[in-house]
Amino acid sequence: MIEARNLTKKFDTIMAVDHIDAKIRDGCVFGLIGTNGAGKSTFLRMASGVLKPDEGTIQIDGEDVYENTKVKSRFFYISDDQYFFGNGTPTEMMNYYKTIYPRFDVPRFHHFLESFNLEKRRKISTFSKGMKKQLSVILGLCANTDYIFCDETFDGLDPVMRQAVKSLFANDIAERNLTPIIASHNLRELEDICDHVGLLHKGGILLSKDLDDMKLNIHKIQCVLRPGTEAEKLEGLDILKVEHRGSLSTITVRGKREEIEAHMHSYEPIFFEMIPLSLEEIFISETEVAGYDIKKLIF
């Protein structure tokens, strides 16, 4: 497990990470969401031991990360800007990482290169941005670490390649309990892969919750009510938001699904159904309650 306690980092007068407390369970996919400058990259750099916290700690299974070689061998960090040897090739990068990660899977690396159509002896400096991202992901997966830190990893990948990378992550999560921590400014990118999402803003975490818990607690109802019944005045429901399109009302409510359905049936609506919320809608509902407009923070 990764645990941050009172984690803080300043750059001169800029508070990049502001007294963050967070826990990341093993085997989950943790999505770190926030605008540019929210502190995502700084958090990952401290988690990977590149930066030393000014205050607080970040630990993996109770051990500090900074200047701890044993702990650093347990994760692979894919930065937003990939770093490779000046005239290096994929094969040379593989040979380098083999010296750092003793469980590096060489046959799998060659298999991935062939599958992704990346030439093993071609200079990486001639690769496109997307190809460099692909190579970073391949190296990270083949290192066989317990954790993989991804900073805007899907940025620069085409839609087909994004799904391929997500499938590879899902496979390693299932087969060897890999724990990816993925930082992104794009909420929609993480909707189909993350188990837990933390929302960063101005260096602090506004919200950190399991998606399943949020989805179980917030629901959207589309309904046509009987004449004289106003959606905003339905009693017994914890209503967060109401929208109207003609006679069709869309109500976002908080609570247990069974209790919500029972209350709706008591009003004998002409029509109603419970429909799933997107991750964006869930976060909008959660952050509006806290007094923030996620549309301004993320989109």
End-to-end CA distance of the chain: 31
Q: What is the pLDDT of residues 147-178, one digit of tens each?
A: 999 998 887 788 888 889 999 999 999 999 99
Question: What pLDDT sits at residue 222?
Answer: 94
Higher pLDDT, residue 96 or 280: 96
Handedness of CA 105, 107, 110, 111 (dihedral sign): negative
- Helix, coil or strand: residue 72: helix
Label residue 299 by pLDDT band (50, 70, 90).
Answer: very low
Distance of CA 233 to the CA centre of its chain: 37
The phi, psi pair for 39, rounded to 5°, reads 115, 5
Task: Please list the alpha-helical segments (H only) found in 19-158.
Answer: 40-47, 69-72, 90-100, 106-115, 129-142
Kindly report the CA angle at 82 between 77 and 58, in degrees rounded to 5? 25
Question: What pLDDT sits at residue 216?
Answer: 73
What single letter denotes the amino acid at residue 214?
M
Q: What is the pLDDT of residues 45-93, one digit of tens each?
A: 999 999 999 999 999 999 999 999 999 999 999 998 888 988 899 999 9
Question: What pLDDT sits at residue 171?
Answer: 92
Query: Which region among 97-106, 135-144, 153-162, 282-291 has the lowest average model confidence (pLDDT)?
Result: 282-291
Question: What pLDDT sits at residue 286?
Answer: 64
The phi, psi pair for 230, rounded to 5°, reads -100, 130
Q: Measured between alpha carbons, how far is 200 from 36 in angstroms, rounded to an integer?
A: 10
Q: What is the pLDDT of residues 185-201, one digit of tens each?
A: 777 777 778 888 888 87
The phi, psi pair for 86, rounded to 5°, reads -50, -50
- Helix, coil or strand: residue 200: strand
DSSP state of 225: P
Question: What pLDDT sits at residue 295?
Answer: 54
